[in-house]
Homo-oligomer: A and B are copies of this chain.
Amino acid sequence: MKTIRVKVPGGAYPIHVGKDLFDQAGAILSEAGFSVPPILVSNPAVLRLHGCRLLRSLQASFGRVPRVVIGDGERYKSRATLSSIHEALFRAGADRDSWIVAFGGGVVGDVAGFAAATFMRGIPFVNVPTTLLAQVDSAIGGKVGINVPQGKNLIGAFHQPRAVLSDPAVLRTLPERELAAGLYEVIKCAAIRSVPLLDFLERNLEDVLNCRPAPLEHIIVAAARIKAGIVAADEKEKDLRVILNFGHTIGHALEAATGYRRFKHGEAVAWGMIGAIGLGTALGFPNGQESVRLVQLIERVEPLPSMRDIRFEKVWAALERDKKFRGGIFRMVLLPRLGEAAIRSDIDPQRLRHFLKRFLQRGGDVQAAVPIPARKSSHAGK
């Protein structure tokens, strides 16, 4: 078992990564100071596949563990599910000393974490993520929340988990496409912070895709460490944490423009990273050779769903609505070189528009990223 500590203003918490960790969950968490039984929030598929082992371990340490089962899928990250978790907490007799174990993918972690953040003004919760995406990204960092008709994650809070328990062995039961979607976030971590992780992925991609435990554990630990370091430096996304959004600006717009049905989040981020690299090239960043490496790695994972028939105006409208464009300024994370991200607030919307149109027309072909001559009147900021 490897342990990474996340240092946030309210106190540090551990991310434990290791094979067959569920059998030790009760012991680890009782050593961490918990004494009363937690309330377990999960979904039917996760409970069926992995519930027995986790529950056996928790019940051996804490006694009977009440369960709250929520629906499986993004549409259950809703106000209705939030209320239903609160109701279940009341039925279970929960009070301010109660705590939650969120057992599942990003949906379970986000909505159960938000329920914990708001029940009696905040009770502790522990994340036990069962997807690669959650293990390397959403379970770490304390962003919790729900979706509303106006957009994803627009209602929520910052509420750090007390511990994260990630078992690479559970990923065997994950659909291939889900595994790939998580892998794009690992590639993102490498792209913004770690050339060694990128090297490792290039060398071991097939083993990772075949769920071999050792390389899986390696990349989970590496990505979690990168995310933990960034979150520790900027818990509430005032500054540095923004670089975790590399690939997300265009990615979110693609998801929104296709009604969140075509792409998995990670797939949209993969297109977003390719787009951001192309935009960097178009803006004259000296990242030609290096960025080809990144694009090639992304392309080796699996074929991405096509962008070819998406209407540009829909993507542009989504981009303009995006909460990341604060105060009308187009802010994006670009990659001056591999392993080094930069937040740019000086992107000329006209040039972004021009680039993105061609990028979509050519179906994401990175060759669309030919340098665009700067307009005469172009200026930073706008």
Residues of A near any B CB (own CB < 8 A) = 9, 36, 79, 83, 86, 90, 95-97, 117-122, 143, 145, 148, 150, 153-158, 236, 323, 326-327
Could you tell me the distance between the alpha carbons of A153 and B97 in the complex, rounded to whole angstroms?
16
Q: What residues of B have a CB within 8 angstroms of the CB of A121 in the complex? A: 143, 145, 153, 156-158, 236
Are A157 and B118 interface neighbours, CB within 8 A? yes
- How close is A234's CB to chain B, nearest CB, in angstroms? 13
Beta-carbon contact of B326 and A157 below 8 Å: no
Give 25 CB contacts A-B under 8 Å: A9-B9, A86-B148, A86-B155, A90-B148, A90-B154, A95-B323, A95-B327, A96-B323, A96-B326, A97-B326, A118-B118, A118-B145, A119-B155, A120-B155, A120-B323, A121-B143, A121-B145, A121-B153, A121-B156, A121-B157, A121-B158, A121-B236, A122-B157, A122-B236, A157-B157
Q: Contact between B326 and A117 (Cβ–Cβ < 8 Å)?
A: no
Q: Across the interface, do A117 and B157 meet the contact criterion of CB distance under 8 Å?
A: yes
A90 to B327, CA, bound (A): 15
How far is the CB of A111 from the nearest CB of chain B, in Å?
13
- Alpha-carbon distance between A21 and B236 when the two chains are bound, in angstroms: 33
Return the 6 tightest CB-CB contacts between A and B, nearest first.
A90-B150, A121-B156, A118-B155, A97-B326, A121-B157, A95-B323
How distant is A249 from chain B, measured CB to nearest CB, in Å? Answer: 15
Task: Tell me the nearest residue of chain B to A118, going by C-beta.
Answer: B155
Closest to A237 in B: B121
Chain B residues with CB under 8 Å of A120's CB are 154-156, 323
